[in-house]
Amino acid sequence: MATYKASSIVLKSCKLGEADKIVRLFSIEHGIINAVAKGACNFKSKFSGRLELYNVIDSEISRGRNLDVISQAEIIEIFQNISSDFFKFNIAQIISEIILKTQSEGSSSVSIFRLVYVVLKEINRCAFNDSTTLKKILAFFIAKLLKIMGYVPLFETCSICSRKLYDKEDTYDTHNLRGFAFSIKYGGAICDDCRRNAGKLLFVDSRCSNELINLFILKIEDIVKCNISEKNMKELLYILENYFIYHTETNIESFNYLKKIENI
Ligand SMILES: [Zn+2]
């Protein structure tokens, strides 16, 4: 039976029968891997503690007819704080669902793997019950994933007529925007002339528009330090969620977790 090696993150797991476990891994080399770990639920299993959610593992896997079979797993890194915190766990669940629904078996992406790793590390590291920071991390993740997948919204030119929206002293580069009308359908900002034909528009004020652009540009350590108001965070996540769902044609059910978090 052919075997292969994979460095991956455990994104989902469920019990199969009495003692086995099915795990869904996101790997650097092979994208999504669905595999069975035989006997993983037994007390004395060689997999004990190694296939927990969000563990980073090196594994050896054999090709199977339906499901591949994990023969060995070694832990590289554990994010032990994620599963013990309600907010952290829910944000990590959203990230898992997005990856499992947008990535496929056999297609590898080092940049997406690195993004998931960096984001989970930041979720693990931030303070417990810190929903404000966690929402910033989620917004960063969605923006950066859109960027890697080639779906960055247009901010500098009109998304319908391509006219430049800003003059020299008020440019996209200097982050000194006046705000804009944003269309999810057309994929970005809309000029004054095209507004009446653009359908549903979201009016993003100057501060919020800078924050939205920064999510696509800045590093995670800078995003978590940004002071974003609750109101703007809600607006940013609304735009990113709906933009993501519309352009990737993926329904992310766990976005509902966010509403749960907001109601607490
Ligand atoms: Zn226009």
Please write the tens of the pLDDT for every residue from 137-160: 999 999 999 999 999 999 999 999
**Ligand 1 centre from 191 Cα, in Å?**
4
Q: Tell me the two tokens of residue 253.
A: 């059910």
pTM, two decimal places:
0.93
Place of tokens 């989620």: 138
Measure 154 CA to ligand 1 centroid, in angstroms: 12
Q: CA 121, CA 37: separation in Å to the nearest integer?
A: 25
pLDDT class of 173 with cuts at 50, 70, 90: low
Give the Å distance between the CA of 177 and the centre of ligand 1. Answer: 17
Distance from Cα 204 to the centre of ligand 1, integer Å: 16
- Ligand 1 center to 166 CA (angstroms): 12
| Neighbouring-strand partners of residue 56 | 9, 77
Distance 187 CA to ligand 1 centre (A): 12
Read off the tokens for 185. 């359908």
pLDDT per position as a tens digit, 125-135: 999 999 999 99
Taking the centre of ligand 1 as the mean of its atom positions, its distance from the CA of residue 116, in whole angstroms, is 36
CA–centroid distance, residue 169 to ligand 1 (Å): 20
Cβ atoms of 123 and 156 closer than 8 Å: no
Q: At which residue do the structure tokens 């069975």 appear?
A: 36
Question: How many angstroms does the Cα of residue 162 sit away from the middle of ligand 1?
Answer: 6
* Distance of CA 218 from the midpoint of ligand 1 (Å): 27
SS (H, E, C) the chain: CCEEEEEEEEEEEEEECCCEEEEEEEECCCEEEEEEECCCCCCCCCCCCCCCCCCEEEEEEECCCCCEEEEEEEEEECCCCCCCCHHHHHHHHHHHHHHHHHCCECCCCHHHHHHHHHHHHHHHHCCCCCHHHHHHHHHHHHHHHHHHCCCCCECCECCCCCCECCCCCCCCCCCCCCCEEEECCCCEEECCCCHHHCCCCEEECHHHHHHHHHHHHCCHHHHHHCCCCHHHHHHHHHHHHHHHHHHHCCCCHHHHHHHHHHCC
For the chain, which domains are there? 3-77 (2.40.50.140), 84-264 (1.20.1440.120)
Cα(161) to centroid of ligand 1, in Å? 4
Structure confidence at residue 167 (pLDDT): 67
Cα(184) to ligand 1 centroid in Å equals 14
Share of the chain above pLDDT 70, in %: 94
